[in-house]
Amino acid sequence: MTEITAPKSPVTAEQFADEIREQLKYTQNVTAEQATAADVYVAVSKAVRNHLADSWFKTQADTVNGNTKAVGYLSAEFLMGKQLENALLNAGLTDQFDKAVEALGFKPKDIVDAEYEPGLGNGGLGRLAACFIDSLASLGVPAFGYGIQYKYGIFKQKFDENGKQVETPDYWLANEEPWGHTDYNRDQKVSFGGKVVENADGTKTWEPAWSVRAVPVDYMVPGYKSQRVNTLRLWTAKSYDEFDLLAFNRSEYMDAVAPQVKAENISKILYPEDSTKVGKELRLEQQYFFVSASLHDAIRVFYPGQDKPDLTTFPNKIVFQLNDTHPVIGIPELMRILIDEYGYDWDTAWSITTKTFNYTCHTLLPEALEVWPASLIGELLPRHLEIIEKINAQFEAELKAKGVAADTIKDMAIYTGDAVRMAYLATYGGSHVNGVAELHSQLLKDVTLKNFSDVYPDKFTNVTNGVTPRRFVKLANPRLSDLITEGLGTDKWVSDLELLKGLEPLAADDEFVKKFAAVKKANKHAFVGFAKDHYGIDIDENTLFNTMVKRLHEYKRQSLKILAVISTYADIKSGKVKAEDITPRTVFFGAKAAPGYYLAKMTIELINNVSRVISSDSAVKGKLAVHMLPNYNVEMAQNLIPATDLDEQISQAGKEASGTGNMKFALNGAMTVGTLDGANVEIRERVGADNFFLFGMTVDEVEAQYANGYDPAKYYEADPRLKQAIDLVADGTFSNGDRNAYSPLVADWLTKDWFMTLADFSAYMGIQSEIEALYADELEWNRKAVLNVANSGYFSSDRSMEDYLERIWHTAPLA
């Protein structure tokens, strides 16, 4: 066995420069003189990986040999963001890097900028997974992230000359990608289709029709100051029959590569959230592909070289978290592996399986809880459908024995005959189910999974989300980080975020608050430069920076914000608001809409056109500006969040499961205007009601409106400002006179408005005067912002992980 050595000790800047030169010479094959920033980026990345390698090997060995159970985080998305700065920070090499690349004749920023951001996630769910694996490594908990290395991540967003969203493919692997190591020697076979045959002894054999080769690409996940490096293993699909030479020789060139194309399609593209109909089959293939490969991989890792491992110990080795319904096919897959591949009986297999899995639900929208047509599962995974049917029969019998009414049993069916409800399968087939904020977990119990919570109350728990302070404070906001360290007299807060509480008394210290205000100003100034470089826009930094960044969805209510902007615009233009009463504001939107989501895309178009009209109107110049920034991603978040004064979290109450942007903004000293939804509730509780701009209906009020028959037109008629704003959209003001341009949006607002934008409009406008009055008092505003930072330490993903360890995983860091 190779000896596991201690992690390499940090090097000097000179030594690190030599290591970079060596990488340039021997792996990049360029001299330091020939090297471009892109070459140096790859060389530095490989040099950093080398520094992490020994800790990685040691963590792997301890994971297998130690007495702590590992965590397997199964997620279709990991939205990692750029890697280099994070890896440098965690390897303790940031200073050496700065000096070394300067010695090589480069600016550190140019090297960092040479990295292309991988977009292997749609939004909050994928970014949460990335925060969680960072925290697990930082806490020293052995863990694997398991997912897919999509060849194309989330689409790149551009806007055409009419302001419409245009999606272009994100080929993030166009250039050398130094972080992932493709490990062809640890591949897995994943099969599909075919039929199930019954053997003479009553056992079943699945005879699949086709298979693909799952090849892992391994990413190091370095912990901050923990000396631990975990693994993110992303699977990529390859064909076993690369090339059909016979077909090629018959000149059937397309047919010759058909098997390759079919296999590689599986990991070709990240599935767009909220999309309709298309690609169901491919989506299920993707899910099964990465889950099957990951389960087999875990068995390989924990029982090396064993033909007949004792898999009754499997749940003591690793516990799997199902991130939303996407990996839930893992439940019948583990049953199949145990029964068909290792010969366990049903009851033993079920006992192992239910101890192995837990499920996190991240939504309250019924359409986001996946339901698969049984016919599709039957075609692709015939053996799994049989197992699901049997699970369902066992479940029904169990419910009956518990005295559950027949109607309720029917409502709870996992398998309806036509369809398989993955959330129900996950709830029954795992040990715990959790929501992602207190309100959300409560609503899961009271509404979405009520029947299940009635029968299995002990399964349900809450773990409120969190964000990693390394990326979203320390790296994103170095100025604030330095000030926090100065204020607390220690930088320990980076791994113990509750220490931020120590800043609370400093909110009463005017000198500290002024320093805090200066940090915000400097961040705004820096963002002005970033926006000029990246988007070619000019921003007035002496305005209130007001930001709404998140996926575009009706429930998140970007419509509410843009209608409010339109109303303000109309008031300034008409002179209704006096010039001296106006708080100059720059409103930033960042949002991608799912390609098939018509109203969401129209909302983007509207925002762009409101931006266009306002920017060309001299009457509002210097008072109001709106920017729809293209291609919102992790990099933009890291630059815009620290520069923001006011954050928008204005979803309809009861619809946003948690939100994590809200946490990032509060931690970076933005004030929040928000509804009582998701984690807003807990943020407000912690930062204090006086330091949060609350407005809008509560969950109960929303429910009462639905029950009474909600009529949006009533609100349109009752509030002249709302009427005026909608009329301006309808009359062609933002569409060069074309009255039809936004008619679907207007019709939806006036006749449907499912998420009650109109009902909350007056309250939203009402809170604006409070916001502006406070903003006018710079010291008071910043005092409250300091209190937001001081009281948001709870929203660290380190704390989320500790909650999972205690409530769900029942494991601990390695010794």
The nearest distance, CB 436 to ligand 9GP, in angstroms, is 4
Query: Is 660 among the residues that bind ligand 9GP (CB under 6 A)?
Result: yes
Task: State which of positions 618-637 bind ligand 9GP (CB under 6 A).
Answer: none
- The alpha-helical segments, DSSP class H, found in 623-776 are 634-640, 661-667, 680-687, 699-708, 712-718, 720-730, 743-751, 757-776
By CB under 6 A, name the one of 214, 409, 412, 436 that touches ligand 9GP: 436
Catalytic residue, chosen from 58, 551, 561, 655, is 551
Which of 125/339 has CB closer to ligand 9GP? 125
Residue 75-114 contact track with ligand 9GP, rule CB under 6 A, x = bound = ----------------------------------------
Task: State which of positions 110-129 bind ligand 9GP (CB under 6 A).
Answer: 123-125, 128
Catalytic residue, chosen from 21, 228, 238, 664, is 664
Return the number of other C-beta atoms located less than 10 Å from residue 84's C-beta: 21
Near ligand 9GP by CB under 6 A, which window of 47-55, 291-299, 362-370, 483-491?
362-370
Pairing outcome for strands 357-360 and 143-148: unpaired
The nearest distance, CB 196 to ligand 9GP, in angstroms, is 32
The nearest distance, CB 562 to ligand 9GP, in angstroms, is 20
Which of 363/757 has CB closer to ligand 9GP? 363
Which of 363/431 has CB closer to ligand 9GP? 363
Residue 374-413 contact track with ligand 9GP, rule CB under 6 A, x = bound = ----------------------------------------
Query: Is 272 among the residues that bind ligand 9GP (CB under 6 A)?
Result: no
User: C-alpha distances in angstroms, 632 versus 185, 587, 624?
Assistant: 37, 15, 22
Query: Is 659 among the residues that bind ligand 9GP (CB under 6 A)?
Result: yes
Residue pair 539/611 in contact by the 8 Å Cβ criterion: no
The nearest distance, CB 587 to ligand 9GP, in angstroms, is 22
Which of 353/363 has CB closer to ligand 9GP? 363
The nearest distance, CB 581 to ligand 9GP, in angstroms, is 36
The two three-digit tokens of residue 405, written as one number: 């009414």
Residue 560-579 contact track with ligand 9GP, rule CB under 6 A, x = bound = --------------------
The nearest distance, CB 124 to ligand 9GP, in angstroms, is 3
By CB under 6 A, name the one of 259, 430, 654, 678 that touches ligand 9GP: 678
Which of 302/804 has CB closer to ligand 9GP? 804
The nearest distance, CB 459 to ligand 9GP, in angstroms, is 19
The nearest distance, CB 660 to ligand 9GP, in angstroms, is 5
Catalytic residue, chosen from 660, 672, 757, 811, is 660
Residue pair 520/636 in contact by the 8 Å Cβ criterion: no
Catalytic residue, chosen from 46, 440, 556, 721, is 556
The nearest distance, CB 664 to ligand 9GP, in angstroms, is 11
Bridge partners of 188? 214
Residue pair 67/53 in contact by the 8 Å Cβ criterion: no
Note if 660 is an active site residue: yes
By CB under 6 A, name the one of 368, 419, 767, 812 that touches ligand 9GP: 368
Give the angle 448-457-360 at the CA atoms, nearest 5°.
55
How many chain residues are in contact with ligand 9GP, going by CB under 6 A? Answer: 16
- The alpha-helical segments, DSSP class H, found in 66-119 are 84-91, 94-103, 108-113
- 306 burial (CB, 10 Å; 0-12 / 13-18 / 19+) is exposed
Residue pair 552/558 in contact by the 8 Å Cβ criterion: yes
Residue pair 749/562 in contact by the 8 Å Cβ criterion: no
Which of 507/657 has CB closer to ligand 9GP? 657
Residue 664: which of 648, 688, 641 has the closest Cα? 641
Residue pair 658/439 in contact by the 8 Å Cβ criterion: no
Which of 635/656 has CB closer to ligand 9GP? 656
The nearest distance, CB 490 to ligand 9GP, in angstroms, is 30
Catalytic residue, chosen from 550, 592, 686, 721, is 550
Residue pair 699/676 in contact by the 8 Å Cβ criterion: yes
Residue 756: which of 589, 599, 556, 579 has the closest Cα? 556
Note if 362 is an active site residue: yes
Return the number of other C-beta atoms located less than 10 Å from residue 508's C-beta: 11
By CB under 6 A, name the one of 19, 324, 571, 647 that touches ligand 9GP: 324
Residue 37: which of 84, 90, 70 has the closest Cα? 84
Residue 141-170 contact track with ligand 9GP, rule CB under 6 A, x = bound = ------------------------------
Residue 785: which of 795, 775, 776 has the closest Cα? 775
Cα 377 from Cα 416, distance rounded (Å): 13
By CB under 6 A, name the one of 286, 658, 800, 811 that touches ligand 9GP: 658
Near ligand 9GP by CB under 6 A, which window of 37-45, 563-571, 658-666, 776-784?
658-666
Which of 23/660 has CB closer to ligand 9GP? 660
- 201 burial (CB, 10 Å; 0-12 / 13-18 / 19+) is exposed
Near ligand 9GP by CB under 6 A, which window of 33-41, 652-660, 680-688, 714-722?
652-660
- 574 burial (CB, 10 Å; 0-12 / 13-18 / 19+) is exposed
Residue pair 77/122 in contact by the 8 Å Cβ criterion: yes
Instruction: Name the amino acid, one letter, at 389.
Output: E
Near ligand 9GP by CB under 6 A, which window of 336-344, 378-386, 650-658, 803-811?
650-658
Which of 364/539 has CB closer to ligand 9GP? 364
Which of 7/124 has CB closer to ligand 9GP? 124
HSE-CB for 303 with a 13 A CA cutoff: 18
Cα 337 from Cα 294, distance rounded (Å): 12
Task: State which of positions 458-487 bind ligand 9GP (CB under 6 A).
Answer: 465
Cα Rg of the chain, angstroms: 27
User: C-alpha distances in angstroms, 564 versus 223, 526, 626?
Assistant: 43, 28, 12
> Whose structure tokens read 């925002």?
607
The nearest distance, CB 655 to ligand 9GP, in angstroms, is 8
Q: Across 42-184, where does the E strand assignment appear?
A: 70-74, 143-148, 156-159, 165-168, 181-182
The two three-digit tokens of residue 494, written as one number: 């980076």
Residue 298, SS3?
A: helix
Which of 90/662 has CB closer to ligand 9GP? 662
Residue 512-551 contact track with ligand 9GP, rule CB under 6 A, x = bound = ----------------------------------------
Note if 664 is an active site residue: yes
The nearest distance, CB 637 to ligand 9GP, in angstroms, is 14
HSE-CB for 119 with a 13 A CA cutoff: 25
By CB under 6 A, name the one of 336, 362, 470, 623 that touches ligand 9GP: 362
The nearest distance, CB 388 to ligand 9GP, in angstroms, is 22
Catalytic residue, chosen from 233, 362, 445, 520, is 362
CB crowding 615-628: b at 16 or more within 10 Å, else e: eeeeebeebbbbbb
Cα 736 from Cα 610, distance rounded (Å): 11
Residues with a known catalytic role: 362, 550-551, 556, 660, 664
Catalog residues that contact ligand 9GP under the rule CB under 6 A: 123-125, 128, 324, 362-363, 368, 436, 465, 656-660, 678
